[in-house]
């Protein structure tokens, strides 16, 4: 049956490598993991079985662009698939939900954050789901290169919504990450399908280049490839703009792409690149997820990638038509400190962790919190805030109960009395009480839940259900905002300082592992043995060959990544002058970590509050290694230069 569907529904004559094995497991009601290289057809592993399964297939994907691309493909094959995300209006969302309840759709695509939506969770409990699909599944592992704390909750969601099967998809998973995925989703190791990471059509090249020579080398490399599709990866948005401008000045038409551009412009650039109207894009890693262009001939890393996993993912966008493609790294150590700063920026300070624990301890048995307020209160970025809460959940200190919208407001399409008169008896009295408890402005009514708590006749869940019903009937326009989370405090007697130290050390271990990941990448690029076999070995694959014969090591031997240009000694800077404005703006004594982040230009929520970016000294030492700056700061604090 699956072969017939492959031909009739998808128009393919044969399965790609590994696809049939995974699809067979899913159609036989087993869970599975598919680890295929980028662009090798992972998505078909759920798209085809979804047509055979009795109920809905729920797909969790990290990016809107990925979701839209897959929907476009499914719609082109006349397969009914839908999405629910923040881009939909309330009416569009209701229409999608209605269609799912009526079994009109086989596939629903969402982001992991959608599970926090109170309304959506109630909806999921009303429908049977056959399969949970997790795209970019390496995000569930703390040992993966792109850990997302919300992914850790997916196994619990699978149980909560009684989803019997799961399918995990990724292109980059080391043996440790694979083990982690199997454990968390209870998937047998024999149900893991790995097709291999080696692609014989990719020519992996690493050449050492001084920073001052990079532009010239890049221009020479592309001079006879102007009509070929090329992606040039850089670390910073400014570099993308500068390099694109330089290439254009040499007659190589290049376009910058990064997260700082407006969504409409980014979408336009991506579409024009897909159509071949733009051949050369200079981009940060914001570009590429969801790109399924088969004829990309060149992927060039102007700056070092963030990790071996990122490198593998990014070069995986080249040569998907199985024709030869070049993957070049212009290697020097100039941006190593920037890559490390990304790591250090996500390590919270001990005092920030302690502050968070004090907030939790003072909450009582139930902690009702708006997560968006925590970064400013604790001076911790949102990602590590979420990670901390997940750690506390795993330790048994917290238990998430539910998430809800703290604020509801509505605008009437018909007058309130007309709505009230549609009901009788107790229900009519209940609707009247809702309106009586709301505050009214010129157009919008706001539900006052604090007032409602004092009214024994009113129940929050019943009110929301009633308002949603009124919205479905078209009687009013309903808007919800200000997401809040409710946690049960299971162990309120924890020792704050000891727990804060334990959590801080956990982050420091992860920080150390991430820095080593950068060192491992440099070691790969400096390898004396075949790059292709070394890359495959990193992901646990042993190739039948010792040498690929077409990487830069095989063709001309190993290289040393070029050293950075010499910087002035830190002792030449005046510590007091660089930090005076920062220190005068802080109410509490500044930590060495905070000063180091200030000097290295690493953003924290506190810097946003005090507008640190405009202060003298901010990012003054951004080209220096974080640890070197930290040691210099501590030495100056020790001798009292504060």
Sign of the CA dihedral with 343 first, then 345, 349, and 354 last: negative
* DSSP strand pairing (476-489 vs 366-369): antiparallel
- What would the two tokens of residue 385 be? 């805030």
Q: Which CATH superfamily is domain 2-194 in?
A: P-loop containing nucleotide triphosphate hydrolases (3.40.50.300)
> Over 80: is that where the pLDDT of 95 sits?
yes
pLDDT over 70 percentage in the chain: 99
Residue whose tokens read 């990719």: 202
Q: Of 2, 86, 88, 83, nearest to 44 (Cα)? A: 2
> Over 70: is that where the pLDDT of 290 sits?
no
In whole angstroms, what is the distance from residue 92 CA to residue 472 CA?
11
Average pLDDT over residues 298-311: 95
Query: What pLDDT, on a 0 to 100 scale, did the predictor assign at position 574?
Result: 92
Within the chain, all domains assigned CATH 3.40.50.300 are found at 2-194, 202-334
> Over 80: is that where the pLDDT of 402 sits?
no
Q: How far apart are the first and last CA of the chain?
A: 75
Tens-place pLDDT, residues 541-565: 888 889 999 999 999 999 999 887 7
**Separation in Å, CA 137 to CA 103, 147, 598:** 27, 10, 34
**Separation in Å, CA 292 to CA 67, 480, 505, 621:** 13, 36, 41, 39
User: How would residue 641 be classed by pLDDT, with cut points 50, 70 and 90?
Assistant: low
Query: What pLDDT, on a 0 to 100 scale, did the predictor assign at position 40?
Result: 76
Tens-place pLDDT, residues 500-541: 999 999 999 989 989 999 999 999 999 999 999 999 999 988
Query: What pLDDT, on a 0 to 100 scale, did the predictor assign at position 446?
Result: 92
Mean pLDDT of the chain: 91
Judge contact between 529 and 343, C-beta under 8 A. no
> Over 80: is that where the pLDDT of 86 sits?
no
By three-state DSSP, how is residue 366 classified? strand
User: How would residue 399 be classed by pLDDT, with cut points 50, 70 and 90?
Assistant: confident
In whole angstroms, what is the distance from residue 432 CA to residue 453 CA?
16
CB atoms within 10 A of CB 335: 21
**Greatest CA separation for the chain:** 87
> Over 90: is that where the pLDDT of 276 sits?
yes
Average pLDDT over residues 111-140: 90
Residue whose tokens read 């804060």: 500
By three-state DSSP, how is residue 17 classified? coil
- What would the two tokens of residue 581 be? 């404005």
In whole angstroms, what is the distance from residue 357 CA to residue 352 CA?
9
User: How would residue 258 be classed by pLDDT, with cut points 50, 70 and 90?
Assistant: very high
**Separation in Å, CA 114 to CA 17, 86, 88, 157:** 33, 9, 13, 11
Judge contact between 557 and 205, C-beta under 8 A. no
> Over 70: is that where the pLDDT of 391 sits?
yes
CATH code that applies to domain 202-334: 3.40.50.300
> Over 60: is that where the pLDDT of 108 sits?
yes
pTM: 0.81
Q: Which of 15-19, 62-66, 124-128, 390-394 has the lowest mean pLDDT?
A: 62-66
In whole angstroms, what is the distance from residue 157 CA to residue 154 CA?
5
> Over 80: is that where the pLDDT of 639 sits?
no
- What would the two tokens of residue 557 be? 């031997």
Partners of residue 110 on adjacent β-strands: 60
> Over 70: is that where the pLDDT of 351 sits?
yes
């Amino acid at each position: 049956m699956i072969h017939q569907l492959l031909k009739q529904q998808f128009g393919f004559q044969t399965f790609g490598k590994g696809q049939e094995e995974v699809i067979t497991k899913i159609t036989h009601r087993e869970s599975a993991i598919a680890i295929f290289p980028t662009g090798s057809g992972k998505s078909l592993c759920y798209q085809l079985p979804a047509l055979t399964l009795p109920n809905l297939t729920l797909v969790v994907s990290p990016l809107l662009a990925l979701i839209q691309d897959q929907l476009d493909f499914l719609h082109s094959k006349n397969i009914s698939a839908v999405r629910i995300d923040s881009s939909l209006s309330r009416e569009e969302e209701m229409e999608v939900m209605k269609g799912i309840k009526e079994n009109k759709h086989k596939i629903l695509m969402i982001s992991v954050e959608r599970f926090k939506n109170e309304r959506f969770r109630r909806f999921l409990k009303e429908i049977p789901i056959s399969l949970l699909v997790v795209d970019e599944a390496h995000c569930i592992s703390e040992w993966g290169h792109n850990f997302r704390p919300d992914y850790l909750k997916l196994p619990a969601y699978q149980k909560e919504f009684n989803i019997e099967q799961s399918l995990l998809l990724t292109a980059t998973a080391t043996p440790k990450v694979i083990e982690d995925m199997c454990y968390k989703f209870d998937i047998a190791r024999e149900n893991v399908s790995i097709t291999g990471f080696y692609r014989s059509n990719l020519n992996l090249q690493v050449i050492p280049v001084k920073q001052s020579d990079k532009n010239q080398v890049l221009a020479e490399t592309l001079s006879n490839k102007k009509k070929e599709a090329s992606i040039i990866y850089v670390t910073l948005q400014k570099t993308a703009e500068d390099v694109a401008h330089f290439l254009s000045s040499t007659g190589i038409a290049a376009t910058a792409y990064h997260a700082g551009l407006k969504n409409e412009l980014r979408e336009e650039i991506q579409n024009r690149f897909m159509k071949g109207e733009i051949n050369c894009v200079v981009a940060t890693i914001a570009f590429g997820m969801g790109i399924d262009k088969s004829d990309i001939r060149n992927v060039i890393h102007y700056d070092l990638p963030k990790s071996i996993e990122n490198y593998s993912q990014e070069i995986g966008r080249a040569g998907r038509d199985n024709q030869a493609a070049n993957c070049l790294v212009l290697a020097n150590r100039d941006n190593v400190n920037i890559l490390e700063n990304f790591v250090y920026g996500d390590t919270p300070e001990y005092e920030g962790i302690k502050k968070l624990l004090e907030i939790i301890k003072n909450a009582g048995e139930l902690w009702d919190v708006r997560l968006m307020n925590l970064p400013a209160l604790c001076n911790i970025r949102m990602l590590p805030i979420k990670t901390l809460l997940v750690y506390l959940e795993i330790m048994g200190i917290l238990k998430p109960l539910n998430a809800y919208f703290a604020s509801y407001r509505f605008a009437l399409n018909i007058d309130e009395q007309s709505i009230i008169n549609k009901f009788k008896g107790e229900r009519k009295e209940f609707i009247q009480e809702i309106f009586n408890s709301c505050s009214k402005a010129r157009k919008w009514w706001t539900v006052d839940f604090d007032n409602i708590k004092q009214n024994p006749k009113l129940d929050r869940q019943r009110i929301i259900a009633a308002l949603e019903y009124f919205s479905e009937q078209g009687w009013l326009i309903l808007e919800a905002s200000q997401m809040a989370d409710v946690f049960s405090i299971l162990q309120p007697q924890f020792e704050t300082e000891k727990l804060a130290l334990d959590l801080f050390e956990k982050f420091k271990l992860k920080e150390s592992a991430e820095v080593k990941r950068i060192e491992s990448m440099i070691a790969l690029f400096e390898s004396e043995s075949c790059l292709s076999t070394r890359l495959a070995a990193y992901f646990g694959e042993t190739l039948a060959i010792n040498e690929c014969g077409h990487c830069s090591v095989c063709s001309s031997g190993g290289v040393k990544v070029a050293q950075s240009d010499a910087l002035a000694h830190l002792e030449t800077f005046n510590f007091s002058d660089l930090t005076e404005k920062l220190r005068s703006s802080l109410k509490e004594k500044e930590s060495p970590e905070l000063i180091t982040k200030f000097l290295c230009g690493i953003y924290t929520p506190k810097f946003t509050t005090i507008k640190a970016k405009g202060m003298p000294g901010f990012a003054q030492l951004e080209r220096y290694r974080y640890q070197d700056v930290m040691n210099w700061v501590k030495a100056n604090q020790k001798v009292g230069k504060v």
